[in-house]
Amino acid sequence: TDKRELKARIVGFDKRTDVAVVKIEATGLPFVKIGDVNRLKVGEWVMAIGSPFGLENSVTAGIVSAKARDIPGDYLPFIQTDVAINPGNSGGPLINLRGEVVGINSQIYSRSGGFMGISFAIPIDEAMRVADQLRTNGRVVRGRIGVQIAPVTKEVAESIGLGKPAGALVQSVESGGPADKAGVEA
């Protein structure tokens, strides 16, 4: 809040996570402690800091609803909360009551464009893995199998002779992908 403006150089950017690493030349910058997402508990209080609708340094609070929420079309295990996140909060920190950053506020579920009680944050350990790769390589490298999977339901388990629902069902195999080349079949 000291109103300094600094020039930055983009070291790397990852579109999938919307995480970037920028380098600035400065000293005496404040910083926050990175928390341990493994210690985060469902039901724990967290808060978001940001500038929703241009209102700088706004803080909202809520609880963690889920720690590894899958969102269709996304490949990240999001932290789901009921912390009010609105335009201007994205990219800001999700902080636990120990003052540690446990996530980066990323998305809301909304039918109106405004906050409706469900928000999502990128777990800080995932963001730090991305940041480490960006610092080292300037880009993120991910493995890919080339299959679409679904859970093994009770009905599927019974139909293929499994004793109980376990594992993953390969619904389809990408033609020419790694799984196809290895002989994996749907």
Paired tokens of 120: 């999502």
Q: Which pLDDT belongs to residue 112?
A: 66
Whole-angstrom Cα distance, residue 19 to residue 27? Answer: 23
Q: Which pLDDT belongs to residue 21?
A: 95
Whole-angstrom Cα distance, residue 90 to residue 24? Answer: 21
Whole-prediction pTM value? 0.77
Q: What does the angle CA 69 – CA 14 – CA 11 come to, to the nearest 5 degrees?
A: 140
Whole-angstrom Cα distance, residue 120 to residue 80? Answer: 5
Contacts of 91 (CB under 8 A, 6+ apart): 18, 50, 104, 105, 106
Whole-angstrom Cα distance, residue 133 to residue 146? Answer: 22
Cβ atoms of residues 122 and 78 within 8 Å? yes
Tell me the pLDDT of the chain (186 aa) as tens digits. Answer: 678 899 999 999 998 888 999 999 998 888 899 999 999 999 999 999 988 888 888 899 999 999 988 776 666 789 999 998 888 888 899 999 999 999 999 877 766 666 667 889 999 999 999 999 999 998 898 888 889 888 889 998 998 888 889 888 898 999 999 999 999 998
